[in-house]
Copies of this chain bind each other. A is one copy, B any other.
Amino acid sequence: MSDKLILGISGSPRKGANTDICLQAAMDAAAGVEGIRTETIYLRDYRIEPCLGCFACCPKTIVPERDYACPAHRDDDMSKIYPKLLECSGLILASPVYFGNMTGQMKTFMDRTEPLLRYGTGKFKYGLQHKVGGGIAVGGNRNAGEEFTLLALQYYFQVHDMIVVGSGGQPTPGCYLGGGATTWPNDKSESRDGVLKDELGLMSCRNLGRNVAETVLRMGI
């Protein structure tokens, strides 16, 4: 059996900064599990148009199957991401906390996965169903949206009928809901790498990555 793919997606506009660092910690932990391979996508490298709410992706009437997901934006970079979403067995979404929630970039990406819902057509329909999802949120202040952002990421997984896992059973956890890290101990939101001093937060990211990987294997998806 070929290795299962766990796809990581970063919604941070800042290359190599705290969110990327936390996601990398999770992906490394996942890749360390026998039978798992990983790939990471940085949304800042892709041009993604916002969903127009036109429902052209999910017609109720029978339509000939097509090889593109979104009729409204056939040519933007989501066309490079859709195949990876269909291919993966596990999905890890990582976002900085902006106003208590994920970034607009991450949300705009999410909105464009409408064609992978129950309403989709052809190979895109139920494109993420029964796959394993885990979230990572990185905040610049303490108790300032890390939890809510993780809940928002998990809500997305459930709309796609995915399996949701948290950061696992590690003895004295930080956030139970996933990887929850913060630059706060440095009190400098501008810090690009403050999370490196947040060992508890990084541990929760590693636990999340391992937990997603092990659940993928247990589920045999």
Contact = CB atoms under 8 A, between A and B. Distances in A.
Given A53-B103, A163-B163, 11 more contacts: A60-B190, A100-B156, A100-B159, A101-B107, A103-B107, A103-B111, A104-B109, A143-B146, A145-B176, A147-B148, A158-B166
A12 B108 CA distance: 13
A220 interface: yes
A177 B165 contact: no
A164 B165 contact: yes
Nearest to A102: B107
Interface in A13-65: 13-14, 17, 50-53, 55, 60
9 contacts: A55-B189, A99-B111, A100-B152, A101-B156, A118-B171, A118-B173, A155-B176, A158-B166, A163-B165
Main secondary structure of the interface of A (DSSP, over half): loop
Interface in A106-128: 107-111, 113-114, 118-119, 126
Interface residues of A, number: 74
A140 B119 CA distance: 13
A200 B142 contact: yes
A194 interface: no
A190 B61 CA distance: 12
